[in-house]
Amino acid sequence: MADAPRNRKESSPQKENLFEMPTGKASDKRGDKVRKTPLLDEDRNHHVFGDDVPTKVGSGSTENDLDPETIGSYRIVEELGRGGMGTVYLAEQTGTVTRKVALKVVHASLHHSTALARFAAERQAMARLSHPHVAQLFEAGTTAQGFPFFAMEYIEGETLARYCERRKLSVTDRLRLFTNICEGVQHAHQKGVLHRDLKPSNIMVVEHEGQVVPKIIDFGIAKAIDHPLVDHTLTRGGILGTPAYMSPEALQSPELVDTRSDVYSLGLVLYELLAGIGPKREFVGPIPKPMHSGEIKGPSTRVSDLENASLEKIAGERGLSPSAFVNTLKGDLDWITLTAIDPDPDRRYGSAAELAADIERYLSHYPIQARPPRLTYQLAKYLYRYRVGVVAGTVALLALIAGVIGTSAGMIKAQRAELEARLQARRANSEAEAATQISDFLTELFTLSDPSEARTEELTVRELLDRSAANMATKLGDQPVIKARLLQAMGEVYSNLSLYKEAEGQFEQAVALREAEFGEHPDLAASLIWLGSTNNSLNRLDKAQSLFERSMAMAESLEGPESLLVVNSLVGLASIAVNRGQYREGEKIHRKALSICERAVGDDHWETATVMRSLALNLEVLGRTEEALAYRKKYLLIVEKSKGKDSYHSIRGHYTVGYSLLRLNRLEEAEQYLQKALRLAETQLEPGHGYILRALWNFGDLRYVQKRYREAEEFYGQALRSVEISLPRGHPEQIVLLGRQGHAILNQGRIKDAEKPFETALQLAKEADDTLTLVWSHYDLSATGRMKGDFDQAETHLAKARELWIAQVGPEALEIGFADFYLANIRRDQGRYREAEALYLQSFALYEKNKANPDDLAELAGEYADLLRMMDRDEEAESLLARYPNP
């Protein structure tokens, strides 16, 4: 197999690309006026075949002997090169109009009736063209010796490929440039002219008044669609053009050439413009072997097969990571490109305008014409167009609903194979019936776009989901399996949108249907895991734990102890332990899940990354921030590799890495990660989404550590508004955020103002009967009392917090050491030094017994050292600080 020959290196003076020079060399008789022009790799692929046209230009040519200084009103400056039909000069027009032109003169060897007829037709054809993206014909005439010539617009620019490479244009910018090229070709077609030699080196790009303008050049072998003389010439066997860019029918017989042949060439230009490389084809000499529809690999497959270094280089030139580059090409752009270069003209776009229109549909997120009109695809495009910051939900809905239909109708197959082979799957009658059931249901989602239901606001994914959820009760009653899959899919989308209450309802129905239909089954276990996660998010820990335990037992029974269902159940149980403050138990369970997952799918798999992410949070609350950071960076690396650098999943990766860096006091690094997380979240997601909440929260923490308390207060306030949108009243995150906001206010010296969020948090914690948030709310009000000198308030709330901790974790836990530490500070402030010292020592014992992290030990040592100095025991204070240095 050999790749299509292509231009690997273009010389910098762009004028040498105006016309092709397959053989022969530029004359040097004019001395300094004429330079020798090197042949480009691509130029060597331009061949002229046929009885009437010699294969070597220049053998026996006599126009070289003419060596004119002027032709008509044009003064020759230098020879630019030679093509299969003539010689091209750079000339200056003199007289009333002064300008540079590209002057093309016919070869003397072609001075016979058919060739001259061709040039007469070419002149008539080009005279019809007047378009901003087509090089203009200024004049046509004959030399004193009777040779035809054309004076054309001289383009001082760069070839399309070089311009895009130098500017590192994005895929979107390349597509917009390409649609301009299509407009120029369409204009030529409307004027009855085929180009027949479209390729990257025949497209120049110039910048004019800040606008990027592509120009199509070299209509040197153009065919006038309605001109009989040209047709007569071609039927005698002349095959003109660059074989690597010619359509199969053009290579077979010129009589078959029409507008779709130019579309084919445009498709190859588009392929290289997107992929940086042409499709893989076999050649016999310069001629590509015929291929059938479906045999050519799409751009995404082509670049996926490249070596890593090549893929990284090409992707980088488009501002993308390799994985994001492949994902960008995959799907619509594969369909568009392969449709344009389909070997069968009847399967191609009928015109350049149709090709451009499909690209515009892609850029506007409308369904493209090249792709089969499947409902799921149209649904995804519809949702994307009418999103209000819900890209994540849209993507999730597309993936999930597509999976539902594919699984329900028994149509699971590789989309890539379907794309490249263009085969229609045969379905059994029962499969078609199931697909119709789902199709009918999903069609109702589109009724919101009916003009009779026009509305002033754009629709959101949530509105579409809410509508379908409301109608679900009366739909698919005779298809419980399909209905369960749809309920499961909608539940997952609700969950991804942080709408946990709505998700819970969908999952509960899916569980009921699957249990009734299957009994113990992997699908039921999966639904139980999702329902457990939803209850965990809603802080219903007992119910969540029961669901995870049930799913794990079922998974172990059905699939063995090392399945991914077991892994997901274990991660759920570990998360429950962490949320209950049982951090070491949580780590133990997390480690078990990670070990199983790495054995099952490897250490760089997406599933493994999700376990690492959960374990990192566990390690963070244990104070092992360096370990947490390592796992979070590994998670982000896997996400960027598999999902893309700016993907929905990378938002979480960035804000968690940023938070760990913040904890390590690496503030500049932290801010970079947190800024990117916030930017991606706010541009991709709906207000209230959990990722926006977390990004705002972490940014508030950053400003707090930087002692920019007013800004921290504002970020916490925004995060609280996000909580109110998506989470139920009294959710732990709302309570903790109120505490953070209160501390930001407290550090501004506004003690009275700080008490309001602290008291609200305490009230919500009591209503929720949540031990952890209740404990911290008591701590916060204790701190407020201490700051304003109200020691009764400080002690009362601290005593309640300590009592709750003992009931939760026992009297020897690290948390009791924290409580003793805070009480020691109160006693010290009261001047009760002996009691304070006893409490500090008691706290030290619990810290060391439970292996507290160095930060906490250093903080405790610092406060105790202050007490020792107050007691005039300075040497002991210094010794203590030396034993527990601040990290």
What tokens were used for 135? 């090089």
Contacts 24+ apart (CB under 8 A), 872-876: none
pLDDT of 305-349, one tens digit each? 899 899 999 999 998 888 889 888 988 899 999 999 999 888 899
User: Pick from 455, 451, 497, 489: which is nearest to 472 by CA?
Assistant: 489
Mean confidence (pLDDT) of the chain: 77
* For residue 73, pLDDT beyond 80: yes
* Predicted confidence (pLDDT) per residue in 119-178, tens digit: 666 666 666 777 888 888 888 788 877 777 888 888 888 889 999 999 999 998 999 999
The pLDDT, as a whole number, for residue 51 is 29
Q: How many residues does the chain have?
A: 887
Q: Which of 194-208, 259-273, 288-302, 449-463 has the highest mean pLDDT?
A: 259-273
Statement: residue 523 has pLDDT above 50: yes
d(CA 553, CA 529): 12
Show me where the domains of the chain are located. 14-153, 159-359, 373-519, 817-887
Fold classification of 159-359 (topology level): Transferase(Phosphotransferase); domain 1 (1.10.510)
- Whether residue 633 is annotated as binding a ligand: the answer is no
Kindly report, residue by residue over 471-492, the tens digit of the pLDDT: 666 666 667 887 888 888 888 8
CA separation for the pair 243, 245 (Å, rounded): 5
Q: What is the pLDDT of residue 534?
A: 92
Q: What percent of the chain lies above the pLDDT cut of 70?
A: 74
Segment 821-865, tens digit of pLDDT: 999 999 998 899 999 999 999 999 999 888 888 888 999 999 999
Q: Could you write out the DSSP letters of every residue in 826-874?
A: HHHHHT-HHHHHHHHHHHHHHHHHTT--HHHHHHHHHHHHHHHHHTT-H
d(CA 491, CA 483): 12
The whole-angstrom separation of Cα 663 and Cα 629 is 10
Residues 6 or more apart whose CB falls under 8 angstroms from that of 792 comprise 785
Which residues are CB-neighbours of 843 under 8 A, at least 6 positions away? 817, 818, 820, 821, 824, 860
How far apart (Å, rounded) are the C-alpha atoms in residues 31 and 577?
Answer: 87
138: Cα separation from own chain's centroid: 46
Mean pLDDT of 735-743: 93
Residue 26 has pLDDT above 60, yes or no: no
CA distance 197 to 706: 63
φ and ψ of 695, to 5 deg: -65, -45
Is the pLDDT score of 35 beyond 70?
Answer: no
Look at residues 643, 707, 706, 696 and name the one whose alpha carbon lies nearest to residue 674: 696
**CATH match of 817-887 with 1.25.40:** yes
pLDDT at 247: 86
> Per-residue b/e over 421-453, b at no fewer than 16 CB within 10 Å?
eeeeeeeeeeeeebbebbeebbeebeeeeeeee
DSSP class per residue in 462-531:
HHHHHHHHHHGGGSSTT-HHHHHHHHHHHHHHHHHTT-HHHHHHHHHHHHHHHHHHHSS-HHHHHHHHHH
CB 578 within 8 A of CB 618: yes
Q: Is the pTM of this model over 0.95?
A: no
By three-state DSSP, how is residue 292 classified? coil
Residue 450, amino acid: D
| Cα-based distances in Å from 522 to 163, 514, 616 | 54, 10, 28
- Reply yes or no on domain 14-153 having CATH 1.10.3720.10: no
The residue written with tokens 């691509």 in the block is 42
Alpha-carbon gap, residue 127 to 137, rounded angstroms:
6
Task: Round to whole Å and give the CA distance between 413 and 677.
Answer: 35
**How many CA atoms, within 13 angstroms, populate the side-chain half-sphere of residue 829?**
17
DSSP state of 194: E
How confident is the model at residue 824, as a pLDDT?
93
